[in-house]
Structure 1
Amino acid sequence: MEAWKVNIISVWFGCFFTGLAMSQILPFLPLYVEQLGVRSHEALSVWSGLVFSATFLVSAIASPFWGSVADRKGRKLMLLRASLGMAVVIALQGFASNVYQLFFLRALMGLTSGYIPNAMALVASQVPREKSGWALGTLSTGQVSGVIIGPLLGGFMADHLGLRVVFLVTASLMLVSFLITLFLIKERRLVVRKVDQLKGRAIFASLPYPRLILTLFITTMMIQLTNSSISPILTLFIKDISPGINDIAFISGAIAAVPGISALLAAPRLGRLGDRIGTSRILLAAMMVMIVLFSFMALVNTPLQLAVLRFLMGFAEGALMPAVQTLLVKHSSDRVTGRIFGYNQSFMYLGNVAGPLIGSSVSAVMGFRWVFIVTALLVLVNTLQLWSGFRKIRQSASS
């Protein structure tokens, strides 16, 4: 079997275990904060938000640095750093004795993150360019599969074995990712010496379409923002439209998970279609579908209607991130790919931070339904930016 095919299979399992590990912990962080001695409702809300956001904020700051190291030392080294680092830090979180230790360790985890973006960059740099859309779409199903299974497995362990066990099992899964990366992944890389490495503006000056790359960064932030803006209000919105409903937590969890199922089905197929008809067309179509679906979500009256719309949204979500990453590869060189993906990762984490803030703020001031409308408008603005960027590229190519 060709080396790049072995890499895809190996990295798929690494992304699966990483997605599984991350999603096992996040839903239960507030419960762990409470277990560490935070009792009042106000303090619990504040500390849960701080503990959740600390990782993403540090990751957003550190990602460009790790991207620079990846260009010089290789992406396999970054995968080993991320998987082993997360295994150690997550295991230590399971032994935290107060919320201050947990906050510090969550912030420290931001320095160890980056397995999945570096895995995407490694695969994108190894596969034939004409197969990059299919490869990245297939790879994204690994993370999505882990994210779907993670909360179920984490919930079972939390109920039957205790919250601290969840951290230790999660650390073990990251250790498995480390071993898979160490023994199975082979990297063919272009060595860039530090003295020859482009810096700052020179990176973007070396790109044929720097404005498009920046727009794609914003698209990455928007993808994460759309996912996370709904998170703070989803359960409350379901309760609002169906006040007498039973099993609200289970129904909310199911509605939160359904986009992952359709994304799992769609990602490799849409990636292959993008390789044939153009990744930019797939990206624009998926963004427009998102706008329509978010607009309809503002009008739903039952949880079933919301579930159906979110299931349909998953088909669009399955195309978005692989399409962005494919375009980043196509419009940059191997010399700067690591830093381009590092910057892109920073924007991804910024979306994770901004989304819940926007969602909770809009719902507090204007009501739950306006969260969907505001999200649709933000996606619309970004879609127009993308359309303008792609049109300029077509005009430049034709002239």
Structure 2
Amino acid sequence: MGIVFLLTLFNTKEHFTPIPAKKMKPMKEIFAQLENKQLIIAMFITTLFIQSALMSIAPIVSLLVKSLMHGTGNVSFVSGVVAAMPGFGTLLVASRLGVKMDKIGPLKVLVFGLVAAMVVFLPMYFVTSPWSLGFWRFLLGIANAALLPAVQTVLTVSVPREAFGRIFSYNQSFQAAGAMLGSMMGSLISGLFNYQAVFLVTAALMALNLLLIWKVHRPLENEK
């Protein structure tokens, strides 16, 4: 963190024009003026759902790997590899999905990511080895590369400049709430049923999110 602080302090140049306090509109007024209020709220909820889905396995990943390995072998190492696999997937395709987002729009990329995540979560219910779990989590990382960046892009192009800071702060709050709820959901579902049941519930959550995006996106398409 110290290195990041120094790099940011000395290498970041910001071109920012402060908004005078007298000209800063309250959020209630800004929301009233937004053309796509439902879309903004849907993006907040989408951030909540995405983060809940990504964090749902966090409390149980080591326990699930241990169960799949039947308590033998280097559980700590394998758990670390399995936990890291989504990062590898995201790293490989993030820039390509960014290019695609610029070509076809963030909402279409977001829908692709939600469909891909839902499809990838389902086979995780049937995994019988930690390496198959790692493979599906790698694919989940590819889907994940299309999710939060698309949400952030939608917010950026849909809100006025003078509200960027506050809108993204709200979105960050929903992301933090999703991390909390996702971890609690994973713990609760695995305690009531089994570890694999978490993946079914998470897939259902992605399906619900898809329905939300469809209901919000359809009126916008009809207006064009």
TM-score normalised to structure 2 length: 0.95
Cα deviation for residue 244 of structure 1 reads 4.5
| 2:134 counterpart of 1:304 | no
1:384 aligned onto 2:201? no
The number of residues matched between the two structures is 224
2:157 paired residue number: 330
Q: Which amino acid in the other structure matches residue 327 of structure 1?
A: V
- 1:238 equivalent in structure 2: 65
Partner of residue 202, structure 1: 29
Deviation at 1:210, TM superposition (A): 1.1
Question: 1:283: which partner in 2?
Answer: 110
Does the CA contact (< 8 Å) of 1:190 and 1:334 recur in 2? no
Which whole-Å CA distance do the structure 1 matches of 2:19 and 2:94 have between them? 32
DSSP-derived class of the 2:34 partner? coil
Backbone CA RMSD of aligned residues: 1.4
Q: Which amino acid aligns with 1:203?
A: I
Task: Give per-residue Cα distances to partners, 1:291-319, cap 9 Å, x unaligned.
Answer: 01111101111112111111111111112
Q: Secondary structure at the match of 2:160?
A: coil
Q: Map residues 35-184 of structure 1 onto 2, 5 A cutoff.
A: 174-184=1-11
Asked if residue 314 in structure 1 is aligned to residue 147 in structure 2, the reply is: no
The 1-side partners of 2:17 and 2:50 are apart by 30
Worse-matched range after superposition: 194-203 or 276-285: 194-203
Cα distance in 2 for partners of 1:297, 1:208 equals 40
- Between the aligned partners of 1:285 and 1:312, the Cα distance in structure 2 is 13
Q: Which residue of 1 aligns with 2:84?
A: 257
SS of corresponding position for 1:295: helix
Residue equivalent to 1:266:
93
The one-letter amino acid paired with 1:288 is: V
Residues 86, 141 of structure 2: 8 Å contact kept: yes
Cα contact 1:190–1:335 (8 A) shared by 2: no
SS in 1 for 2:161: coil
1:6-21 alignment, distance < 5 Å: none
Give 1:379 shift: 1.3
In the TM superposition, 1:193-232 aligns within 5 A as 193-232=20-59
Deviations 1:305-359 (A, max 9, x none): 1111111111111121111111100111101011110000001111111111110
Q: Which structure 1 residue ranges, 4+ long, deviate > 4 Å from structure 2?
A: none
Please state how far the C-alpha of 1:183 moved relative to its aligned partner: 2.5
Q: One-letter code of the match for 1:250?
A: F
Unaligned runs of 5+ in 2: none
C-alpha distance in 1, partners of 2:198/2:71?
A: 23
SS in 2 for 1:368: coil
Q: Which residue of 2 aligns with 1:292?
A: 119
Is the CA contact (8 Å cut-off) linking 2:114 and 2:206 kept in structure 1?
Answer: yes
Percent sequence identity over aligned pairs? 39
Secondary structure of 1:198's counterpart equals: coil
- The superposition leaves residues 48-72 of structure 1 with CA deviations (integer Å, 9 ceiling, x where unpaired) of xxxxxxxxxxxxxxxxxxxxxxxxx
- Which protein is bigger by CA-based radius of gyration? 1
Question: Which structure 1 segments of 5+ residues have no match?
Answer: 1-173
- Assess, with a 3 A threshold, how the Cα gap between structure 1 residues 239 and 182 changes in structure 2: closer, same or farther: closer
Q: Which whole-Å CA distance do the structure 1 matches of 2:25 and 2:163 have between them? A: 8
SS in 1 for 2:13: coil
**How far apart are the structure 2 equivalents of 1:304 and 1:247?**
13
CA distance in 1: counterparts of 2:14 and 2:67, whole angstroms: 52
Deviation of the 1:238 alpha carbon: 1.9
Equivalence for 1:148: none
Which amino acid in structure 2 is aligned with residue 181 of structure 1? Answer: T
The CA deviation string for residues 202-227 of structure 1, in whole angstroms up to 9 with x for no partner, is 23212221111111111112222112
Is 1:187 matched up with 2:14? yes
TM-score after normalising by structure 1: 0.54
| Aligned partners of 1:279 and 1:323 also within 8 Å | yes
